Every structure is written in structure tokens, then in C-alpha cells.
């Protein structure tokens, strides 16, 4: 075997990264993680096994692993052995896989657990010295063709891509594409060369909700994929909730309106679009998109070492003229595997150099930027994957056992024409059988969405099949499918039928033709179907469709789901566009969160009862998540969790005024559910909406949802009173009962190390009752309710919690959120002597954060008053700079001792502590109190899109809008400060 210099260079770079980042996480798959050291050890062990089997020859080694971790290990092992790998996705049908293996002449195939399937003992007979991998695409003969991608061009492209995105060991790349896709090779190898982590979705089946949660929980920073796959995921995401830095589209034309709608103008996320056929190592042009621009989206300018030509009849076109896109330069592949005819047709000479004819149409503008305008031949793009018409036709001919077929693509839908003499093969039962056979050849996503019968096929003047005429027929006429004869018997069935018609899904009352089994591409149709149904039925999920895979069954299930929700909100306020405000912003006798039947109002209450205190918070959270996923009772983007209800059978200690007599038995459970449906329960929550008993490894958890919850002064008094009447002796029947419980619960959470739950605990059990109570009673001094107890409890709980938070790796982020409430309480003059914020935070968090919070606290406590000189303020800013906790400010642009602050509170900085930034914004807001107050609705619109983290902002708003002296009116700058605080 002749050793390739380019393979050696790539191997050296990869080994260097594996060893340099040995203790860092290389891959995450669900709850499992593997370090770079582990990756090196396992890949090297596998490499040695490959070396023995290769006998010093160049070989092509197929990889077909269900586990993404195993697949990546195998890929690295082949690269380390300087052999050539052939990725095959496990979802590929068996016949197609065998066709690929036969055509490739692969020596062996690596499967899960690193086992080998021996295929051919002799070398494949190809020149593979410079080849890194072989990627199979669709062929015009109806058979797949293999592209020989070079190691040198690939390494060059990996480095260019990494530099462009500034990838480093701090990044996490989310992998959302098939392992046999050309762009996936870059997404696997480029991050590993930089020490970054690969993140694989925990759910292999394409589930946008689940994958969106993975992106958030893994703190992924980079994602690259086809728009067909990325758009459904983006629909489930709020980008501000993620750590994404780069969103990279490729493989399909990009819809500008969808990008603007789903991505918006978030300055923290850069959006890119690139173009590159497999024959050109995946990436040849690049464009960073300005989402605010109205210009059409380009596919970009050539990357380094690549040149683009737009040719027509062998000549370059003029600016703006459409022609065939041709590529030359370092990026070109080494041709096709065992296909000299295709090499001669596609890799041609132009002006003394080899260019690849892409078959894509496009044009260049005056700046040399390339725009895509479609295809010149019979190749289609299905969800970003290139497939030739002939290959789909060939598979359909085998499945339907007839040669009288013709395929066209119309409005992104594949339409299959057949002769009416073969109509029997296209009846529903036969269609099911044909689909089952089709997946052995191609992904189910490539099965035609419509079929149309003709007496004869149209012919052109040359006597050949006229595909243009067929396309016109497809545009003019929609096939009369059996599903059109389904008579909707209910509103739910009408919605199902309408969704099927929109997506051209074949159906009968007993059959819903959805690809519920298959790979990523096969799931896209299901995702769109679910999305359409959720407009009226939010309970629909992927599992829901699995369980009700017929029009009639699904319609009945949807009707039952709808019937369980009251058509009209029961009592309380009537919500409209101008009054959709969180609870602490409503000043009424009864404040309600209401779940409307159309799910347009975002707040939904969800809680859980645990039967045994040994069940951890994580288990309860998992049970709640399972319940939400099962019933689709709320959209994760808009949710307000009121915390959990701790139900201890032994001590009967719980925060809600309910005296359940249930035990951990079926009878006891039924008694509990019955009591939850009584007037005693409804005084606080309204009717029970849905409930489920979730089994966890530690015990059973009852999860329930109600359609609203009431907070008013009278209810709060009953709450406290009934809490004091618990007969277990664990809480004294005194006015201090509620605060004893606060301290007990806070200590319990700290002992369990569940720091993330402390914030939720404070929101539910401390802040909200008092905010609502004082708001409704018009009380400005919170001490009047229980003098002295609140201050003492706050101080003790804060000190214990802050000590715990100081041990948390995200201390700065959590600290700012955690202190919002405490700082505003500090602003109340009646509480100043009891809570010393500066002393509280000293030594318990990073110095920069401590000083910033202290500065914020000083402003809220009126240290900087209009009557005082601003020299104190100027001095403190200088002190921050002197201590080098934040970079130097351009003080002349901020303030001078003789000039008050105004709306142009500007400063320039580089990267520094975020909390300092927030503190300075807050200072500016405090100095603008003379400006008109902001509209509450405007603030709410911003808060509503932020989800449950906005509770801190609600506290600030309420305590400022109540009769506290410090922030009686809020400026627009303070509004932005709130958003900054909760957005962190």
C-alpha cells in the first residue's frame, strides 16, 4: 500500500487533537458521554483489528452502525489506519445496501460492537491512495453511484469551515443528519480536529421536540443541516434559550421568509448558507445571511482554492445570465467508483483545467456571488438528498411489477403516472405492499406522494415520453384519491382529512399512509402532519400518531382530547390581546391563569404529587416531562411551572391546603383523584384537566394539570390557615408556619444538591403568595403581614442558598437571577436594616459579580439620589475599572460630574462579566425615573416570549409599580434591563 501524504497529514492532525484534549468530552449521546482519551483508546484498538485484516493493501471499508458513537469510533479507526471508509446509514433498505456493497467492492463492513462482516478478500481494484471516503449518491441508470472524495480536499475544507466558524474546544456540534450524507462527514470530523464535542440526539427517530430539548440541554453551539430537517426543529426552539452561535443551512434552496420567521434577527446567532455537491467535497461557496435584508438568499462566493464558472453551450455567461454551475479547483473529488463513463461526462476540460458539471442552474452577480436557479437535468433534491428520477422510477417499477410508469416532480411533490390498465396495482391494499417493498431500495421519503392514471402517456415530436406534458397534467389536476371520499363525521375528522389533503397523504377511514418507521427523511412528512394538527389539537405528538394510525381512530382520539378541555374559560378575567398579562401584573379580585380550548393563552399550570419523599426532584421532573410529552398539554416554549407538590404519606407534610387520605395503593389513588375533583380543590385551581400516574425507578408520581389557578387575598389566607391545621405535629400552629416550611423545604433541596430547584421553590412558595397578597391589598410595606419574620427568613434562606450556589459551576448566571427578588426587597426602606446585600454576597461569588450586584443594590436603595452629587457614581465606576473586574469605560460618553444621566447611556467594552453590563443598564434605568412609564402590555409581550424565567421580572415590575418609593415609574431603559436580567 502506497502511503498518501494527505492521509498522513489528516491522521497526524486528528491524533494530535485526540491526545491534546484527552480529558475533554468528545461525544455525547443522551446521558452517555465519551472523552477524547476513550475515543482514542477504542479507535486505536479497532484500528489494530483493521490492520490485521487489510494485509498492507488499500481497501474500502463499509461502516453501518446503529449507534452514532460506534459509527464515529469506526470512522476514526479507518482514518487512523489510512484506509477508505464508506458510510451506510442503518435505515437504508437491505436491497440498496447490498447494491452499494456489491458496486463498491468493499473489503469488509463494520457494524455495532465493532464486529466485522467479511465481504471481499481481494482489493477493490481502484486507485484509493488519496481517497478519504466514498459517498454514494443517486445514479441515472437507476443504480447508486459512488463518489471518491479526497483526503487532501477534505482536510482543506475542514480547516476552512472550522476557521470560518471559529470552532474550538468550547464548542458543541449537534449532529442532525444521516451518516451517509456528505455534509455529515464534515460535521463529524471538523469539530474533533478542534477539540469540540459532538452531540447526538438521544431519540434516533426524527422528533423535533425531543431534538430541540437536546440542543438546549447540551448547550449546542453549532448545527448544520438541510432546511427540511432544521426548520421543524427551529419551530420548537426559542433561540434565546439556546447557546447556538452558528446555524448553517445546506443541501436545499433556502426560503427567506421561513428563515426570518424562525430565526428572526437574534444578534447572538449567525445564519449561513452554503453550496457544494458531493463531487466537490460538500462545500464550495459560502454566504452569511443578513436576516434583516430583503435581498434574495444567495448560495455565496467561492471558498479558498475553488473557482466557480457559469457556462452555457461551453461559454461563460454574462453577469446575471443563467447557466450551468461548474466548479474547478482543489475541492474536486477523484471521480466516480468504477464508472469511467460518468467521469467523462461530468469531469470535463474547460480552458485547460478540469471542471465538474454540477447540473445545477445559477447565475453570478456583479460581486461574483452565486445564486441557485434549479436543475438542468432529471435529478431532484428530496429533503436535501440528491436523487435521480431514473432511480425512483426503477424502484417503483419493481414494487408495482410494471414498466408503464413515469415520474415527475411538481411543487416539491413526486407524482407517479401509470396506465389505467394497471389500476389494480394502485389500490390501497396494493399500495401498502408496494411501500413495504420500496423501502428495500430507497428511503420512504422518496416514494411518490401522488399517483395519477392515464390511458396513454404523452409523447414529444421525437416519439419519446414528454415529461413536460406530464408535469403540466400534474399541475392542472389532482388525483381523486380514496381519501377524498372520506366523509368527515366530526370536526376532528375534518382536521385530519384537511391535513392529509394539504400534504397529499393517502388515506381511508381505516388507514393513514404515514411513514412511521424509517430514517430521518421518512419522518419529515409525519412532522409536518403533526404540525398542522396541532393548530387545533395541541395534544398531538409522534407517539399519538403511532397509537392511532387511521383516520377514524385518530379522529376519535382527538375528539376525546378536545372534550376534556372546557370550551369556555370558567370565571375570572376575560383575556384579550391587550390584557394577556402574567399573574402578578393583574390587579383584580381574582387572578387566574386560564387554559383556553384553542391553546392561544400560554400559561398552563402543571404540578406533581409524590407518594414518597425518597423520590428525587429529578424523577419528578422526568415524570412531568413524560406527562407533557404524552398528552401535549403545554407548549414547552410557553410554560409556567408552579413547582411541585410534596406529598409525604408518613408525615402528610405538603404546602397546599389539601388533607388527602390516600396511600400508595390503587384505592388510595382513586380517593385522591376524587378529592382533586371536589369543591375543596377547585377553590384554588378550577376543574382537574388531566392526570396520569407515572412510574419512576424510585416510586410512583401522580402528575396533573388544571385549567387555571387562583391567587387572591382571601385564598391566601385560607392557604396559610389550612397549612397551619396539619395534624402531624411537624409544623407549629402559629403565624410562623409558612416560614418554617420555607426553611425546611429550602434546606431539604440544598441537602439533596438540587440547586436548580431552589429558584423554582422561591418563585412558588415565597415570592408569589406575598406579591399577590400585597398587590391586592395595596400594601407597600410587606412587613405588615408578619413583622420581622419575612426579613429573618429571607436572610437565613439567602445565605444558605448562596453558599450552595457558590459551589455551582454556573454561579454568575444563577446569581443574577436569584438576587433580583432580594435586591428589590432591599429597595423597600422598611427592609433595609434586615438584609445587608453587600455582606451577604461577600466571599460567596466571584468578585466581579459581587461588585456589580452591590452597585445595582446601591442604586435600588436610593444611594444615588437626584439631590446628591454624581461624584459617588463616577467614583464607583472608576473603582470597578481600577480593580480590573471589567474593562475600561469611555466615561465621557457615560457621565460627567456636572451632567445627569439620560437615554444615551452608552459605553464601549469588549468581553466582560455580563452581570456588570446588566448592573450598568439598571443604573441608567434608575436615573430615568422622570420619564413616562412604559406600557405594561409592551413589557408583557416581551416577557411572554421568554417563558417561566420571566418571574423575576414580574417581581421587579410589581414591587416597583406598587407604592414602594424607589421605582414608582419604570422607563423603557428599565424595561430592557429586565429583559437582559431574565434573558441571561
Q: Do residue 455 and residue 331 come from a single domain?
A: no
Is 748 within 8 Å of 611 (Cβ atoms)? no
Q: Are residue 60 and residue 101 in the same domain, yes or no?
A: yes
Tell how far CA 172 is from the center of its chain: 13
Last residue of a domain, one of 563, 578, 604: 563
Query: What are the residue ranges of helices labelled H in 779-910?
Result: 789-806, 811-827, 837-841, 847-860, 871-882, 891-894
Q: Which three cell numbers stand for residue 876?
A: 464607583
Tell me which residue range forms the domain holding 660.
566-718
Residues 343 and 388 both lie in one domain:
no
Residue 42 lies in a domain: yes
Residues 136 and 259 in one domain: yes
Q: Are residues 341 and 396 in the same domain?
A: no
User: Is the same domain home to 542 and 647?
Assistant: no
Give the pLDDT confidence score for residue 245 in this predicted structure: 93
What the block records as the C-alpha cell of 573 is 378575567
DSSP 764: I
Please tell me whether residues 357 and 435 are part of one structural domain.
no
Which residues lie across from 302 on neighbouring strands?
Answer: 285
Specify if 971 maps to a domain.
no
Residues 82, 188: one domain?
yes
Same domain for 544 and 585: no
**Residue ending a domain, choose from 662, 691, 718:** 718
Torsion of CA 477, 480, 481, 484, to 10 degrees: 110
Helix 951-961, helix 972-983: angle, nearest 10: 150
- Asked if 789 and 739 touch (Cβ cutoff 8 Å), the reply is yes
pLDDT of residue 675: 56
pLDDT at 57: 78
Last residue of a domain, one of 668, 697, 718: 718
Q: Write out the three cell numbers for 840.
A: 451577604
User: Which phi and psi (to 5°) does residue 50 adopt?
Assistant: -65, -40
Displacement of CA 596 from its chain's centroid (Å): 26
Q: Quote the pLDDT of residue 313.
A: 86
Domain count, the chain: 4
The CATH code of the domain that includes 298 is 3.40.50.12780
Any idea which residue has 416532480 for its cell?
A: 409
Distance CA 92, CA 444 (A): 10
Has residue 858 been placed in a domain? Answer: no
pTM of the model: 0.54
Cell of 402: 410494471
Domain contains 687: yes
Answer yes or no: is 107 within a domain. yes
At 124 the pLDDT is 61
**Domain match, 333 and 405 both:** no
3-state secondary structure of 690: strand
Distance from the Cα of residue 387 to its chain's centroid: 28
Starting at the edge strand that comes first in sequence, how are the strands of the sheet with 116-118 ordered? 116-118, 108-110, 60-63, 84-87, 131-137, 145-150
**Residues linked to residue 710 through DSSP beta bridges, in sequence order:** 592
C-alpha cell at 846: 466571584
Helix (H) or strand (E) holding 79: helix 68-80
Tell whether 874 is covered by a domain.
no
Same domain, 203 and 309: yes
The cell for 116 is 466485522
CB atoms within 10 A of CB 510: 11
On whether residue 759 sits in a domain, the answer given is no
Give the pLDDT means over successive 10-residue stretches in the chain (984 positions): 77 94 90 89 92 84 92 96 93 84 90 80 72 84 82 94 93 93 95 96 83 88 90 85 91 85 81 94 93 87 94 90 92 91 91 91 92 79 71 84 83 80 69 76 78 76 70 66 52 78 65 54 68 75 67 75 42 26 24 28 36 47 49 30 29 27 45 55 46 57 48 41 38 38 51 49 39 30 39 49 45 37 39 45 44 42 34 45 37 34 25 33 36 34 35 33 29 40 38
Q: What is the 3-state secondary structure (H, E, C) of 489-511?
A: CCHHHHHHHHHHHHHCCCEECCE
Residue 931 contacts by C-beta under 8 Å, 6 or more apart in sequence? 903, 969, 971, 972
d(CA 301, CA 321): 17
Residues 393 and 416 in one domain: yes
Residue 308: the pLDDT is: 95
Residue 176 in any domain: the answer is: yes
Amino acid at each position: 500500500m502506497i502511503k498518501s501524504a494527505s492521509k498522513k497529514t489528516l491522521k497526524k492532525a486528528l491524533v494530535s487533537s485526540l491526545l491534546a484534549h484527552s480529558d475533554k468530552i468528545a461525544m455525547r449521546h443522551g446521558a452517555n458521554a465519551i472523552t477524547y482519551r476513550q475515543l482514542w483508546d477504542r479507535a486505536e484498538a479497532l484500528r489494530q483489528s483493521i490492520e490485521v485484516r487489510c494485509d498492507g493493501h488499500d481497501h474500502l471499508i463499509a461502516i453501518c452502525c446503529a449507534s452514532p458513537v460506534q459509527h464515529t469510533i469506526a470512522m476514526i479507526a479507518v482514518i487512523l489506519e489510512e484506509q477508505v471508509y464508506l458510510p451506510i446509514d442503518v435505515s437504508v433498505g437491505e436491497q440498496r445496501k447490498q447494491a452499494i456493497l456489491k458496486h463498491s467492492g468493499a473489503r469488509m463492513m463494520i457494524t455495532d460492537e465493532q464486529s466485522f462482516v467479511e465481504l471481499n478478500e481481494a482489493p477493490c481494484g481502484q486507485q484509493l491512495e488519496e481517497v478519504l471516503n466514498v459517498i454514494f449518491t443517486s445514479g441515472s441508470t437507476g443504480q447508486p453511484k459512488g463518489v471518491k472524495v479526497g483526503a487532501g480536499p477534505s482536510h482543506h475544507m475542514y480547516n476552512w469551515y472550522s476557521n470560518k466558524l471559529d470552532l474550538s474546544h468550547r464548542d458543541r456540534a449537534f449532529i442532525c443528519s444521516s451518516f451517509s450524507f456528505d455534509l455529515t462527514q464534515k460535521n463529524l470530523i471538523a469539530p474533533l480536529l478542534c477539540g469540540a464535542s459532538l452531540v447526538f440526539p438521544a431519540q434516533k427517530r426524527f422528533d423535533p421536540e425531543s431534538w430541540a430539548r437536546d440542543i438546549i440541554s447540551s448547550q449546542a453551539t453549532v448545527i448544520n443541516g438541510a432546511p427540511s430537517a432544521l426548520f421543524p426543529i427551529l419551530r420548537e426552539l426559542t433561540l434565546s434559550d439556546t447557546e447556538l452561535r452558528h446555524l448553517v443551512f445546506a443541501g436545499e434552496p433556502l426560503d427567506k421568509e421561513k428563515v426570518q420567521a424562525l430565526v428572526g434577527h437574534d444578534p447572538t446567532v449567525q445564519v449561513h448558507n452554503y453550496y457544494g455537491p458531493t463531487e466537490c467535497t460538500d462545500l464550495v461557496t459560502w454566504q452569511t445571511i443578513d436576516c434583516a435584508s430583503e435581498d434574495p438568499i444567495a448560495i455565496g462566493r467561492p471558498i479558498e482554492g475553488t473557482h466557480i464558472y457559469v457556462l452555457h453551450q461551453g461559454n461563460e455567461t454574462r453577469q446575471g445570465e443563467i447557466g450551468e454551475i461548474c466548479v474547478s479547483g482543489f475541492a474536486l473529488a477523484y471521480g466516480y467508483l468504477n464508472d469511467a463513463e460518468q467521469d467523462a461526462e461530468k469531469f470535463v476540460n474547460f480552458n485547460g483545467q478540469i471542471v465538474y458539471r454540477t447540473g445545477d442552474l445559477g447565475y453570478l452577480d456583479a460581486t461574483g456571488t452565486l445564486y441557485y436557479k434549479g436543475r438542468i437535468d432529471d435529478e431532484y433534491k428530496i429533503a436535501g438528498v440528491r436523487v435521480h428520477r431514473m432511480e425512483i422510477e426503477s424502484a417503483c417499477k419493481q414494487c408495482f411489477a410494471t414498466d408503464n410508469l413515469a415520474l415527475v416532480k411538481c411543487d416539491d411533490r413526486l407524482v407517479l403516472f401509470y396506465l389505467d390498465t394497471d389500476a389494480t396495482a394502485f389500490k390501497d391494499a396494493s399500495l401498502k405492499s408496494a411501500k413495504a417493498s420500496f423501502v428495500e431500495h430507497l428511503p420512504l421519503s422518496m416514494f411518490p406522494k401522488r399517483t395519477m392514471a392515464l390511458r396513454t402517456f404523452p409523447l414529444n415530436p421525437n416519439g419519446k415520453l414528454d415529461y413536460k406534458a406530464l408535469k403540466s397534467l400534474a399541475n392542472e389536476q389532482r388525483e381523486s384519491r380514496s381519501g377524498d371520499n372520506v366523509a368527515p363525521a366530526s370536526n376532528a375528522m375534518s382536521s385530519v382529512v384537511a391535513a392529509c389533503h394539504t400534504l397529499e397523504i393517502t388515506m381511508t377511514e381505516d388507514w393513514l399512509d404515514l411513514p412511521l418507521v424509517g430514517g430521518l427523511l421518512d419522518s419529515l412528512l409525519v412532522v409536518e402532519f403533526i404540525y398542522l394538527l396541532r393548530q387545533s389539537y395541541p395534544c398531538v405528538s409522534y407517539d399519538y400518531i403511532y397509537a392511532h394510525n387511521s383516520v377514524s381512530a385518530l379522529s376519535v382520539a382527538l375528539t376525546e382530547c378536545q372534550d376534556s378541555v372546557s370550551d369556555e374559560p370558567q370565571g375570572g378575567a376575560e383575556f384579550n390581546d391587550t390584557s394577556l398579562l402574567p399573574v402578578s401584573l393583574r390587579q383584580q379580585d381574582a387572578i387566574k391563569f386560564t387554559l383556553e380550548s384553542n391553546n392561544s393563552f400560554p400559561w398552563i399550570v402543571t404540578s406533581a404529587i409524590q407518594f414518597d419523599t425518597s423520590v428525587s426532584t429529578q424523577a419528578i421532573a422526568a415524570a412531568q416531562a413524560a406527562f407533557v410529552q404524552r398528552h401535549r398539554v403545554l407548549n414547552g416554549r410557553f410554560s409556567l411551572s408552579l413547582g411541585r407538590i410534596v406529598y409525604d404519606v408518613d408525615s402528610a407534610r405538603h404546602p397546599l391546603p389539601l388533607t388527602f387520605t390516600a396511600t400508595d395503593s390503587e384505592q388510595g389513588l382513586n380517593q385522591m383523584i376524587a378529592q382533586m375533583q371536589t369543591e375543596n380543590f377547585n377553590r384554588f385551581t378550577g376543574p382537574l384537566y388531566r392526570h396520569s400516574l407515572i412510574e419512576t425507578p424510585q416510586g410512583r408520581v401522580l402528575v396533573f394539570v388544571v385549567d387555571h389557578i387562583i391567587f387572591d387575598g382571601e385564598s391566601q389566607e385560607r392557604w396559610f390557615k389550612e397549612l397551619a391545621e396539619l395534624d402531624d405535629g411537624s409544623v407549629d400552629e402559629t403565624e410562623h408556619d409558612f416560614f418554617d416550611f420555607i426553611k425546611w423545604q429550602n434546606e431539604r433541596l440544598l441537602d439533596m444538591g438540587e440547586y436548580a430547584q431552589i429558584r423554582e421553590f422561591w418563585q412558588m412558595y415565597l415570592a408569589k403568595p406575598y406579591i399577590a397578597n400585597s398587590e391586592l391589598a395595596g400594601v407597600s410595606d410587606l412587613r405588615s403581614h408578619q413583622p420581622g419574620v419575612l426579613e429573618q427568613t429571607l436572610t437565613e434562606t439567602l445565605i444558605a442558598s448562596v453558599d450552595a450556589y457558590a459551589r455551582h459551576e454556573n454561579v454568575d448566571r444563577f446569581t443574577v437571577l436569584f438576587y433580583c427578588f432580594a435586591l428589590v426587597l432591599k429597595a423597600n426602606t422598611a427592609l433595609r436594616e434586615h438584609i445587608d446585600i453587600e455582606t451577604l454576597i461577600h466571599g460567596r461569588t466571584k468578585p466581579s459579580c459581587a461588585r456589580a450586584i452591590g452597585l445595582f443594590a446601591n442604586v435600588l436603595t436610593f444611594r444615588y439620589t437626584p439631590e446628591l452629587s454624581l461624584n459617588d457614581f463616577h467614583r464607583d465606576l472608576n473603582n470597578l475599572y481600577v480593580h480590573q473586574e471589567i474593562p475600561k469605560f469611555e466615561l465621557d460618553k457615560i457621565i460627567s460630574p456636572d451632567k445627569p444621566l439620560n437615554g444615551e447611556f452608552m459605553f464601549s467594552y469588549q468581553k466582560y462579566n455580563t452581570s456588570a453590563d446588566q448592573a450598568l443598564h439598571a443604573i441608567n434605568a434608575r436615573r430615568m425615573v422622570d420619564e413616562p412609564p412604559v406600557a405594561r402590555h409592551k413589557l408583557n409581550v416581551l416577557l411572554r416570549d421568554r417563558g417561566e424565567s420571566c418571574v423575576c421580572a414580574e417581581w421587579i415590575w410589581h414591587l416597583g409599580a406598587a407604592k414602594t418609593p424607589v421605582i414608582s415609574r419604570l422607563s423603557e431603559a428599565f424595561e430592557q434591563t429586565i429583559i437582559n436580567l431574565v434573558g441571561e
